[in-house]
């Protein structure tokens, strides 16, 4: 049995915020949640003044610094060491597992054509790349920036995953990855293309045709545009429709 010091601490930011110690979810104030999330999304210790200004941009400096001290105290009240803080800097402690860190690392591997990725062509990777970052948090500029950055990265990664799975002959999984990309961004032609490629590679021409027509209908209704030439060439017999 693990002692308290040995318990695994996990911070989840995909699909929503959750701090979990062992098997238990830890209750945190909203300000402490935002502090933990912000520090988790940084790749190095941050100056306290920068953290305060970013999290409370509308507040005067003295108030923002006071808010930061309060949030740090509230985080410490959980009884678990989650933040390393000095007089000048602070960071999330190194031993906390953060779900988005693995998701981002996997995304970059999928996008690197020189990397073998057999070990991460899994449902868990697809699920992580299908999830939004802190979807219910949209009231701060720093959150919106992080959300958009991860959104774009995961779209490219899902498409790359679909292509790798198609090449490996794992067509059902390739279709699932392509569908995840389409659901995340229905107007993205490259996502539809990855999905159509998977259907065609599996020999499912009817499914490929259905996906093309769905893409065309969406583009026409939302943007008044026809599919690109590259997409039309996947199904040349459909170009007259």
**pTM of structure:** 0.90
pLDDT > 80? residue 62: yes
Read off the pLDDT of residues 4-60 as tens digits, 9 standing for 90 and up.
556 889 999 999 999 999 889 999 999 999 999 999 999 899 999 999 999 999 999
Query: What pLDDT is stored for residue 176 in this prediction?
Result: 98
Read off the pLDDT of residues 164-184 as tens digits, 9 standing for 90 and up.
999 999 999 999 999 999 999
Q: What average pLDDT does the structure give for the chain?
A: 92
DSSP 37-83: HHHHT-SS-EEHHHHHHHHSTTS-HHHHHHHHHHHHHHHHTTSS--E
Nearest partner of 163 among 207, 124, 113, judged by Cα: 113
Read off the pLDDT of residues 38-53 as tens digits, 9 standing for 90 and up.
999 998 999 999 999 9
Query: What pLDDT is stored for residue 238 in this prediction?
Result: 59
CA 183 to chain centroid: 14
Percent above pLDDT 70 for the chain: 95
Read off the pLDDT of residues 103-137 as tens digits, 9 standing for 90 and up.
999 999 999 999 999 999 999 999 999 999 999 99
Q: Rounded distance, CA 176 to CA 138, Å?
A: 28
Sign of the torsion angle spanned by Cα atoms 204, 181, 155, 193: positive
Query: What pLDDT is stored for residue 240 in this prediction?
Result: 47
**Mean pLDDT of the 186-196 span:** 96
Q: Rounded distance, CA 191 to CA 181, Å?
A: 6
Query: What pLDDT is stored for residue 5 in this prediction?
Result: 55
Nearest partner of 196 among 184, 214, 183, judged by Cα: 214
Percent above pLDDT 90 for the chain: 85
Looking at the DSSP bridge assignments, the partners of residue 85 are 90
Nearest partner of 29 among 65, 72, 81, judged by Cα: 72
Q: Rounded distance, CA 214 to CA 124, Å?
A: 27
What domains are defined for the chain? 4-95 (1.10.10.10), 98-238 (1.25.40.10)
Q: How confident is the model at residue 201 (pLDDT cuts 50, 70, 90)?
A: very high
């Amino acid at each position: 049995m693990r002692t308290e010091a040995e318990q695994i601490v996990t911070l989840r930011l995909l699909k929503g915020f959750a701090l979990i110690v062992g098997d238990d979810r830890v209750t945190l104030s909203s300000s402490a949640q935002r502090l933990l999330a912000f520090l988790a999304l940084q790749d190095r210790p941050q100056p306290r003044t920068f953290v305060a200004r970013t999290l409370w941009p509308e507040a005067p400096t003295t108030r923002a610094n006071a808010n930061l001290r309060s949030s740090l105290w509230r985080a410490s009240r959980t009884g678990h060491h989650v933040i390393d803080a000095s007089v000048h800097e602070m960071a999330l402690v190194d031993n906390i597992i953060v779900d988005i860190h693995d998701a981002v690392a996997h995304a970059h591997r999928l996008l690197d054509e020189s990397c073998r990725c057999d070990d991460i062509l899994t449902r868990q990777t697809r699920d992580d790349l299908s999830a939004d970052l802190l979807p219910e948090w949209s009231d701060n500029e720093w959150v919106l920036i992080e959300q958009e950055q991860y959104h774009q990265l995961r779209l490219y990664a899902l498409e790359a995953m679909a292509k790798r799975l198609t090449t490996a002959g794992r067509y059902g999984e390739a279709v699932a990855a392509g569908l995840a990309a389409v659901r995340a961004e229905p107007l993205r032609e490259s996502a539809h293309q990855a999905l159509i490629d998977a259907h065609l590679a599996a020999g499912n021409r009817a499914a490929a045709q259905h996906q093309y027509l769905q893409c065309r209908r969406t583009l026409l209704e939302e943007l008044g545009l026809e599919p690109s030439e590259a997409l039309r060439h996947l199904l040349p017999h459909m170009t007259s429709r």
